[in-house]
Structure 1
Amino acid sequence: MTRVIRQVLFVVALPAALLSAWWLLTVNSTSFYNPPLATILGKFDDTWFSQPFGESRFVHDVLPSVGRLLAGYVLALVAGITLGVAIGLSRALRAYCEPVLEFFRAIPPPVMVPILMLFFGIGTSMRIVVIATGCLWPILLNTIEGVRGIDPVLRDTARVYRLGRVSTVRHLVLRAASPQIVTGARQALSVGIILMVISEMFTARDGLGFTVVSFQRGFAIPEMWSGVIILGLIGLLLSLVFTAVSKTVLAWYMGYRAAQRGGA
């Protein structure tokens, strides 16, 4: 129980310190563009939750944004891990794909938004594809490197025991590459949140990014800041969920590392 309390305090300590500093630095602010935090928090409930739940901005703007983010992220996970394993296991395929991978890796994901709009229009599908396209590369490239880095002795052992291709991929390749895959997935989550907001700034009529920009254009500055806070809370919540899932996925790896340190 004490350990859980320490972990909770560790997670909330920095956000609490930053909010306290923000409160103190703006408590007497008269700036139109930088209102006191108390004013922003006072607008928070009215902006996002004042209407009946089914008609609130939280339901019409925040939840659809999170849904599109998760849809694009899951698509990127499936495609990135599948392609990464295939490319990582085949030296010939890796040599063939490497120039293309290096080309697309050098392109900033936001640049792809206008291009994808030409092919997918301006609807929900375009925003999901934008998120999936941006999230794909960290997952794909880290998966390839993770598969390439598997100990050759483990591969030889799998051949000696005559493991089938599916069993080898499931029990050896994915497990051995999982630390790298999780690293790529963590990077992709941050990219996905950014692209969620950017994609909603282009001809959208709903979503968190659209709403924040609408407040900014209407000079509703406290409401705009409240949207930024919502975005930060979404990022924090997703990070906590990701950390919990990654600890479960990498439980074997953590135990292995702990055993190595104990043996040393």
Structure 2
Amino acid sequence: MIGRLLLRLLFVLALPVVLVALWWAASDGNTDPFWPPLRTILRTFPDVWTVDRLRTDVVPSVLRLLSGYATAAVVGMALGTVIGSYRGVRAVCEPVLEFLRAVPPPVLIPVIMLFAGIGDTMKIVVIASGCVWPILLNTVEGVRAVDSVMLETARSYGVKGPARLRHLVLPSASPQIFAGLRQALSIGIILMVISEMFAASNGIGFTVVQFQRSFAIPDMWTGILVLGLLGFLLSVVFQLVERRVLGWYHGLRASTRRS
């Protein structure tokens, strides 16, 4: 068991280590002010991202991201379940959904600012408006793909309403729902940064732009590293949650492969 964990850890860390080594070798000794050596960036990192800056910039960004992501998850799963369950609702909503999905969320920032102001509400709405689509569409497809035989069996046994939704529809659609949640997480990080570049006073995106405008290039690169580390940590947490919630699904796939 320990050997398997070590081997898996080696596979996970191999590519990042190789990429960092290549970056270090390619940038070492570089005199371009916009492409500082990696050693300079790493030496600058602890001086820039102190505990105070983590509290004033990283924590607000994470809270905005989680708020927008949670809002998108609730709205996307609720609407997706309704749309996927009823053919008539799907026929009415599909043209509108396709139209709205085609509008890039960053384009809506000036419009959202008119109604939500320039505070945290605007940033949360921007994040939610982009994250909701992969969750919504994957939920619709997951609900539509529920086995009709299982639906008929549940109906014949009198399992209806919330009980059928809880014990049959959502568990059957959960693998596809989690696929949408995974896509939405990366979109949320991007929109978090973009929203903080507009009329913000804190946040990772705001800080990176301030470094760029003041030509503190190594400091700007440290902000990019923070974003990468944040994305990696959120991805790890998401995988842990997914494996716990979808343990039955991964076990079923593993047993199918063995057979």
TM-score (norm 1): 0.95
Corresponding residue for residue 248 of structure 1: 244
- Secondary structure of 1:203 counterpart: coil
Partner of 1:138 in structure 2?
A: 134
Per-residue Cα deviation, 1:190-224 (whole angstroms, up to 9, x for no partner): 10000000000001010000000000000000000
Aligned residue for 2:187?
Answer: 191
Distance 2:160 2:232 in 1: 41
Equivalent position SS for 1:33: coil
Unaligned segments of structure 2, at least 5 residues = none
2:95 to 99, 104, 116: 99
Query: What is the identity, as a one-letter code, of the residue corresponding to 1:194?
Result: I
Paired with 1:114 and 1:17, the residues of 2 have a C-alpha distance of 41
Q: Which residue of 2 aligns with 1:43?
A: 44
Question: Where does residue 221 of structure 1 map in the other structure?
Answer: 217
1:79-98 alignment runs, 5 A limit: 79-98=75-94
| CA distance in structure 2 between the partners assigned to 1:63 and 1:16 by the alignment | 27
1:13 matched to 2:14:
yes
Deviations 1:84-130 (A, max 9, x none): 11111111111111111110111112112111111101000110111
Verify: 1:238 aligned to 2:238, yes or no: no
Amino acid at match of 1:118: L
Q: Is residue 2:119 matched to residue 1:118?
A: no
The secondary structure found in structure 2 opposite 1:219 is: coil
> Aligned-pair distance for 1:57?
1.1
Of 82-91 and 190-199, the range deviating more from structure 2: 82-91
Q: Which residue matches 1:147? A: 143
Q: In the alignment, what sits opposite 1:166?
A: 162
Greater shift, 27-36 or 112-121, is seen at: 112-121
Q: 1:14 Cα deviation (Å)?
A: 1.4
Aligned to 1:34, the other structure's residue is in SS state coil
The 1-side partners of 2:58 and 2:108 are apart by: 23
Q: For 2:180 and 2:172, how far apart are their aligned partners in 1?
A: 14
Work out the CA distance in 2 between the residues paired with 1:6 and 1:67: 35
My pick for the range that moved more, 150-159 or 105-114, is 105-114
Partners in 2 of 1:67 and 1:4 — Cα distance?
A: 32
Once the 2 structures are TM-superposed, how far is the Cα of residue 259 of structure 1 from its aligned partner? 2.7
Query: In 1, distance between residues paired with 2:76 and 2:244?
Result: 20
Separation (CA, whole Å) in 2 of partners of 1:261 and 1:218: 56
1:257 paired residue number: 253
Letter of the aligned partner of 2:186 in structure 1? S
Alignment-mate amino acid for residue 26 of structure 1: S
Q: Percent identity between the aligned chains?
A: 57
Distance 1:68 1:9 in 2: 33
Q: C-alpha displacement at 1:258, in angstroms?
A: 2.4
Structure-2 residue corresponding to 1:32 = 33
Provide the secondary structure at the position in 2 that maps to 1:100. helix
CA apart distance, 1:251: 1.1
Tell me by how many angstroms 1:260 deviates.
2.5
Give TM-score, length-normalised by structure 2.
Answer: 0.97
Question: Could you say what the CA RMSD is over the residues aligned between the two structures, in angstroms?
Answer: 1.0
Q: What is the CA–CA distance in structure 2 between the aligned matches of 1:37 and 1:151, rounded to whole Å?
A: 53
Distance, in Å, in 1 between the alignment partners of 2:168 and 2:10 is 37
Deviations, residues 224-252 of structure 1 (Å, cap 9, x unaligned): 00000000000000011111111112111
Structure 1 distance, partners of 2:173, 2:11, is 29
5+ long unaligned stretches in structure 1: none
Q: What residue identity is the alignment partner of 1:8?
A: L
Q: Quick one: which amino acid aligns to residue 112 of structure 1? A: L
Task: Provide the C-alpha distance between the structure 2 equivalents of 1:186 and 1:149, rounded to a whole number of angstroms.
Answer: 19
Task: Report the Cα offset of residue 164 of structure 1.
Answer: 2.6
